[in-house]
Amino acid sequence: TWTFLTPNVTPSHAHSPTYPSLLQVAVRVRPLTNEERQRGCYRILEVQDDNMLTLMNQATDRNDHLRQKREKDKHFLYDRLHGEDSTQKEVYEDTTKPLVQDVLAGFTATVFAYGPTGAGKTYTMVGTPEQPGIMVQALNDLFQCLNDPSKISKTKISMSYLEIYNENIRDLLQPSGTLDLREDAKTGVIQVAGLSEREILTTKEVMRLLTKGNKERTCEPTAANKTSSRSHALLQVNVRKSAIKGVGEEVKVGRLFMVDLAGSERAKQTQNKGKRLQEGAHINRSLLALGNCINALAEGQAKFVNFRDSKLTRLLKEALSGNCRTVMVAHVSPSHHHREETRNTLVYAERAKKISKKIRPTVLDITSHVTHYKQMIKELQEEVERL
């Protein structure tokens, strides 16, 4: 007999110093590209330390007289900042490596790459053979654990890679038509009917599959960019661990979702028309639904989220329902050309982060109100006694 066990208790990362909460928000600033340098782009971002990023109000040429006007600079705080010189290894180790242990223990975890087109999402997630990204490094780490001879249980690792484009789901490893979402009547688990699943054994194979899969992603020219990723790419890694228990076999399934989201730029700015505009609306719908889920997650109100709002949130329902760890890596360009999109991205990421911290001051407010009323009652009682 096979029993599928998906733990639904919260793993104890509350004690982990690097991951005090279930939602972590990191920001990565990519380097200026050669083209940007040649065009004379200047930087509008300054990384202050591991947590603080400054969006500068004015030009930053070293000898710029406008430096005096810097008082309008805006400072943003995040769990982690990765500057222009951050390596793929650092980004992986700070954001995703801590999740791998959860997944091996049978939990679900999610990593999102958020940001406008060209800000470095795909570089962070997939990277190159020389500079492998988060997806490749995570699988590599999972493979390392497999090779541990001390493990008595059998472990299998498999992956599926799909895209959501215009609210349609397509298999990126075995491209065919559009696939449907099915909900298991008994378990409530949402699955993509007919999605291929590859058992994988080497890191090289992963890189090859992801690169091939990315070529299948729907990319078409828009006014803002020659090639723009209008689709969300979702890599799902399943880790199945089986162990003999009594007369049967117990199977634990850990899942790691790694998502390269569609560009977050607004349709208005890309001057899209017709089809493009419709895509924009779909992308915004998914991103909006995701934003709502993440906010609710940060507030601990996942119960009130409508996962059905988009395909993306339906697929990630389990991951977003509040008992899994989620990491968002927001991406920005340092160039002054992208000021508006950079600001939007930084605000979005900050909002996701701030909500969990907001709870405390609210409680303090209530306490001060209570103190105030207690004082009033005391004064009134004294007045009554005097009468």
Q: Are 183 and 273 contacting, i.e. CB atoms less than 8 angstroms apart?
A: no
Given the complex with ligand ADP, which of 283 and 305 has the nearer CB atom? Answer: 283
Instruction: Give Cβ neighbours of residue 256 (< 8 Å, ≥ 6 apart).
Output: 99, 100, 103, 108, 109, 110, 111, 138, 142, 236, 237, 239
**How near is the Cβ of 57 to ligand ADP at its closest, in Å?**
25
Interaction of residue 95 with Mg ion, rule CB under 5 A: no
Report the partner that residue 119 touches, choosing among ligand ADP, Mg ion, none (CB closer than 5 to 8 A by kind).
ligand ADP
Closer Cβ to ligand ADP, 34 or 68, answer by number: 34
Residue 118 binds which one of ligand ADP, Mg ion, none, with CB within 5 to 8 A depending on kind? ligand ADP
Which residues neighbour 104 within 8 Å (Cβ) at sequence distance 6 or greater?
A: 142, 145, 239, 241, 254
* Exposure of 110 in the CB half-sphere (CA atoms within 13 A): 28
CB distance 55 to 343 below 8 Å:
yes
Stretch 324-383 residues interacting with ligand ADP (CB under 6 A): 331
Minimum separation from the CB atom of position 123 to Mg ion (A): 8
Query: By C-beta, is 260 or 318 nearer to Mg ion?
Result: 260
Residue 33 found at the interface with ligand ADP (CB under 6 A): yes
Strand ranges in the chain using DSSP code E only, listed in sequence order: 2-5, 23-29, 45-47, 52-55, 74-77, 80-82, 108-114, 154-165, 168-171, 181-183, 190-192, 198-199, 219-220, 228-229, 232-245, 248-260, 325-332
Amino acid identity, position 268:
K
- 229 counts as binding ligand ADP under rule CB under 6 A: yes
Which of residues 209 and 239 has its CB atom nearest to Mg ion in the complex? 209
**Least Å from the CB of residue 214 to Mg ion:** 8
> Is residue 124 involved in binding Mg ion (CB under 5 A)?
no
Distance CA 229, CA 212 (A): 15
Q: Which stretch binds Mg ion (CB under 5 A): 106-114, 151-159, 226-234, 279-287?
A: 226-234
Q: Which does 162 bind (CB under 5 to 8 A by kind): Mg ion, ligand ADP, none?
A: none
DSSP characters for 142-184? HHHHHT-TT--SEEEEEEEEEEEETTEEEESSS--S-B-EEE-
Residue 31 interacts, among Mg ion, ligand ADP, none and using kind-specific CB cut-offs from 5 to 8 Å, with ligand ADP
Question: What amino acid occupies position 376?
Answer: M
Instruction: With beta carbons less than 8 A apart as the criterion, state whether 86 and 28 touch.
Output: yes
Contact 327, 18 (CB under 8 A): no
How many CA atoms within 13 Å lie on the side-chain side of 358?
Answer: 11
Tell me whether residue 142 or residue 290 sits nearer to ligand ADP (CB atom).
290
Min CB(38)–ligand ADP separation in Å: 14
Among ligand ADP, Mg ion, none, partner that 30 touches (CB below 5 to 8 angstroms by kind): ligand ADP
Q: Which residues are annotated as a binding site for ATP?
A: 115-122
Of 229, 236, 310, 313, the one binding Mg ion (CB under 5 A) is 229
The contact mask relative to ligand ADP for 247-286 (x = CB under 6 A, - = no) is ----------------------------------------
Binding residues: 115-122
The CB-nearest residue to Mg ion is: 122
Q: Scanning residues 84 to 123, which ones bind ligand ADP (CB under 6 A)?
A: 115, 117-123
Here's the x/- map for ligand ADP, 123-142, by CB under 6 A: it reads as x-------------------
254 interacts with, out of Mg ion, ligand ADP, none, CB within 5 to 8 A per kind? none
Point out which residues pair with 23 in neighbouring strands. 326
Query: How many CB atoms neighbour CB 195 within 10 A?
Result: 19
Measure the CA–CA gap between 368 and 56, rounded to whole angstroms: 37
Distance CA 40, CA 19 (A): 39
* CB of 323 vs ligand ADP, minimal distance in Å: 29
Nearest CB to Mg ion, comparing residues 157 and 328: 328
Residue type, 338: H
* Residue 30 in the binding site for ligand ADP (CB under 6 A): yes
The residues that touch Mg ion, with contacts defined as CB under 5 A, are 121-122, 229
Give the binding site for ligand ADP (CB under 6 A): 30-31, 33, 115, 117-123, 229, 331
